[in-house]
Amino acid sequence: DGGITQSPKYLFRKEGQNVTLSCEQNLNHDAMYWYRQDPGQGLRLIYYSQIVNDFQKGDIAEGYSVSREKKESFPLTVTSAQKNPTAFYLCASSPTLLAGDGNEQFFGPGTRLTVL
Amino acid sequence: AQKVTQAQTEISVVEKEDVTLDCVYETRDTTYYLFWYKQPPSGELVFLIRRNSFDEQNEISGRYSWNFQKSTSSFNFTITASQVVDSAVYFCALGSYNTDKLIFGTGTRLQVFP
């Protein structure tokens, strides 16, 4: 089955620690995205990537970093510089980057990060 | 500026009632796409529909229907005879030709009570 996997589903970390969230897709999509969702709020874009070894900052990139070494993988690191990291993180992919081409985004199941 | 507004934060209905979720968008592009996604309690967003700016025909899929009106920049979503399983957060999103990301609204939480 094609799709997006995110691991782990729940993640706990101590304040001051970096943590990496995994995102893998087998849809052969070029574009991948990371979103943050806080309770009662919409999706906010953290980073996105059009192709391997290329990525762009979204609306709330501070305190986060990403890499795109393989087409299938787009891990997100939440660094200790992120002041309020507790949130639900969603990874998504689409065939190409251009939203105006009608490309829907396919979403993973999400990772719920809690900082203790 | 691109923007999507979902003014209804939360809606509660009793099963079998019809309910309409509103979506108003702003864009200067003439070519764009509108989307609706459903986010059930499990958290994963599920794609429901895509509509391009040149097609104003309403669409019906089972109990779901969508009304696209360019004159009012709206793309509203109606659930007929709602069911408990429809309880979720629903997001409207806009993809314009000249942008490389989807613009999401803040979502509407729908609660359907038995």
The per-residue DSSP string of B61-107 comes to: ETTEEEEEEGGGTEEEEEESS--GGG-EEEEEEEEETT-SSPEE---
Question: How near does any CA of chain B get to the CA of A20, in Å?
Answer: 19
Q: Hey, of A98, A111, A113, which one would you mutate to test binding to chain B, going by the most B CBs within 10 A of its CB? A: A98
pLDDT digits (tens, 9 = 90+) for A75-102: 999 998 888 999 999 999 999 877 667 7
Residue B10, SS3 per DSSP: strand
Percentage of chain B surpassing pLDDT 70?
Answer: 100
Lowest pLDDT segment from A46-55, A91-100, B3-12, B105-114? A91-100
Query: What mean pLDDT is predicted for residues A3-18?
Result: 92
Phi-psi region at B86: left, alpha or beta (left = phi > 0; alpha = psi -120 to 50): alpha
How does the average pLDDT of chain A come out, rounded? 92
Question: How near does any CA of chain B get to the CA of A101, in Å?
Answer: 7
Residue A99 pLDDT:
67
Q: Where are the beta strands (DSSP E) in chain A?
A: 4-7, 10-13, 19-25, 31-37, 43-49, 56-57, 64-66, 76-78, 87-94, 106-107, 111-115
pLDDT digits (tens, 9 = 90+) for B56-102: 888 888 999 999 999 999 999 999 999 999 999 999 999 887 777 88
Nearest chain A residue (CA) to B42: A109
- With CB atoms and an 8 Å threshold, state whether A107 touches B102: no
Residues of chain A positioned with their CB less than 8 A from the CB of B25: none
Beta-carbon contacts of residue A33 (< 8 Å; ≥ 6 apart): A45, A47, A48, A49, A58, A74, A91, A92, A93, A94, A105, B101
Question: How near does any CA of chain A get to the CA of B104, in Å?
Answer: 7
pLDDT classification of A36: cutoffs 50, 70, 90: very high
Residues of chain A positioned with their CB less than 8 A from the CB of B46: 107
- The Cα A15–Cα A33 span in angstroms is 25
Q: Is A1 on the interface with B (CB under 8 A)?
A: no
Residue B73 pLDDT:
96
By Cβ distance, the residue of B37, B43, B100 closest to A97 is: B100
Lowest pLDDT segment from A39-43, B32-36, B67-71, B96-100? B96-100
pLDDT digits (tens, 9 = 90+) for A62-79: 999 999 999 999 999 999
- With CB atoms and an 8 Å threshold, state whether B107 touches A112: no
Residue A1 pLDDT:
63
**Tokens linked to B53:** 């700016």
Beta-carbon contacts of residue A63 (< 8 Å; ≥ 6 apart): A78, A79, A81, A82, A83, A85
Tell which A residues from 24 to 53 touch B, by Cβ distance under 8 Å.
33, 40-43, 45, 48, 50
**Stronger pLDDT, A32 or B59, i.e. the higher one:** A32
Side-chain half-sphere of B74: how many Cα atoms within 13 Å? 13
Residue B21 pLDDT:
98
pLDDT classification of B107: cutoffs 50, 70, 90: very high
